[in-house]
A and B are shown apart, each in its own frame.
Chain A
Amino acid sequence: MTTDQAAERATTPDVGEASLAATLPALRAAFPGAVVRAMVGNHQAVICVAPAQAHAVLAWLRDDPGQRFNYLTDVTCVEHRDPELPFEIVYQLRSLDRKADLRVKILLDPDGPLRVETVFDLWAGADWLEREAWDMFGVVFVHHPDLRRILMWETYSEGHPLRKSFPLRGRWSRSEQTRQALADNPEAQYSLEELSISEAYRALPKDMVERLAAHPREQAT
C-alpha cells in the first residue's frame, strides 16, 4: 500500500460508521427503547433490537423513505457455546438504492422458546431463509405460511443439527439413520405439485400476466 493509499484510507469514512449514522438516530427517535445495542464491527453496522418490537422496526427499515432497505440478503442464527450469551437471529439488510448495508439482530434467551414474528410479509425472499433457520436451529417463525424443513427431509427426526446441543454424528446409530433415510419416500413430499404452475401464476408480475393472457392456451388454469 502506498502512503497515498494509506492516507486516503485513513480519511475515507468507514462504511459501517456511515450506515449506522444514517439509521440509528432516526430509529431511536421512531422507536424509543427498541434498540438494545448498536455497534460497528468489521465495517458492518449492527443493531440489536428488542424481540417485541423487531417486526415493526424491520417494517420501518424497509418502508421509511430515509432507510429503504428493500433487499433482505439473509436470515440466519448464531448460537454461542457460552451459555451466558444470547441466541441471535440475524437479518442482513441491504438498500439497493442507498447502497447501504445493515445487520439487525434479535437477541433471545437460549433456554427460552425460540419464537419470532416472520418477515415473509415484508420480504417474500424470507420464505426459504426462515425455513432454513427453522430446519437448522429450530427457531419458530410465527405466521410463516409454510414453515417446513428445507435442507433435511421432512420426516427427519433427530432435531435441529446446527444447535450446539446436537451431537456431530446425529442422535441415532448409523444403521438407524440409514433405515430412516431409506424409509423416506421423496415423492411424497417433493413433488412437481410443489412447483405448480397454477400457483406460481398468481405470484407473477402484472406485465407478465398480461403477456401470458395474450396466449390463452399457455395460461395456467
Chain B
Amino acid sequence: MGLTTDVNPEPDQRELDQISPNWITTRLDFLANWSRSNSLWPMPFGTACCAIEFMATAASRYDISRFGMERMSYSPRQADVLICAGRLPFKLAPVIRRIWDQMPQPKWAISMGACASTGGIFDTYAMVQGIDTIIPVDVYVPGCPPRPEGLLYGILMLHKKIMGESLADPTLRVEHLMGPDGLFRRPEAIDEVSEPFGNSVHQTRSA
C-alpha cells in the first residue's frame, strides 16, 4: 500500500534513542474530538421496530464496538449519544425530555428512522411529529427502518460532526432548556413541522 521503500530497514540505534515514544504533539481540539468521537456511549431509546435494527447494529455482524460504542449506557448519566430508535408517542415525550436533561454535556442525539424524525406514517393523535420538537437532534437517519449500515453511516456522520467541533466555541455545549411556555421550540415552529404531508394530506381534521 503506501509503504515507502527507501527507508533504511535497520535504522541507526542512536537515531532511535533520540525519538522518545512517550510524547506526541497534536491539537487539543483534535485530541478531545478524536477521543470523544471514538467512545460515544449510546443511550438506547428503542421504542418500536427500529430498535430491532438498532439491536442488529449492536450485535456481532455489524458490531458497533468497532466504533467504541459497545457499552450501552442504560443510565443517562453515563451516556454521550441518545439514539431514539422508533416512534415516540406523546406519552413518552416527558420521558425522553427527562432523559435528555439528565445526560451530561457533551451530548448528541441521533434520530433513527422515519417515525422518530417526522412521525412517519403515524400522523395521529398519539404521535410526536419528530423528536426534534422535544430535544435537539444532530443526525437524522432516514428509513423505515434504516438498515444497520444506515445507522452506522449516521454514526460516522456524527463522528465527522464531532471532529469539526472546537473546544473554544462557547455556543456548542449550551443546554437547550425548555422555554417558559413549557415548549422546547416556538409553537409556530412545532405546528409547521407537524403539517401533514404525502398521503396524510387527504385526511381531514374533522373525520
Contacts and interface: CB of A to CB of B under 8 A. Distances in A.
Contact of B183 (A152, A168, A182, A186): A182
B134 interface: yes
Nearest to B206: A167
B124 A169 contact: yes
Given A158-B125, A177-B90, A186 B188 contact: no
7 contacts: A152-B91, A158-B125, A173-B191, A174-B190, A182-B94, A182-B134, A182-B178
A69 to B, nearest CB: 33
A42 interface: no
Given A167-B206, A167-B207, A174-B190, A179 B182 contact: yes
**Which interface class (under 10, 10 to 19, 20 to 34, 35 or more) fits B?**
20 to 34
Q: Is the interface of B mostly helix, strand, loop or mixed?
A: loop
Interface of B: 90-91, 93-95, 97, 123-126, 128-129, 133-134, 178, 181-184, 187-188, 190-191, 194, 196, 203-207
Contact of B188 (A167, A170, A175, A179): A175
Interface string A152-185: 1100001001000011111101111111011111
Contacts of B183: 175, 178-179, 182
Interface of A: 151-153, 158, 161, 166-171, 173-179, 181-186
B205 to A, nearest CB: 5
Contact of A175 (B90, B124, B187): B187
B93 A178 contact: yes
B133 A178 contact: yes
Contacts of A168: 123-125, 203, 205, 207
A24 to B, nearest CB: 39
B126 A161 contact: yes
B193 to A, nearest CB: 8
Contacts of B128: 178, 181
B178 A170 contact: no
Contacts of A173: 187, 191
Contacts of B181: 179
B182 A183 contact: yes
Contacts of B134: 178, 182
Contacts of A184: 91, 94
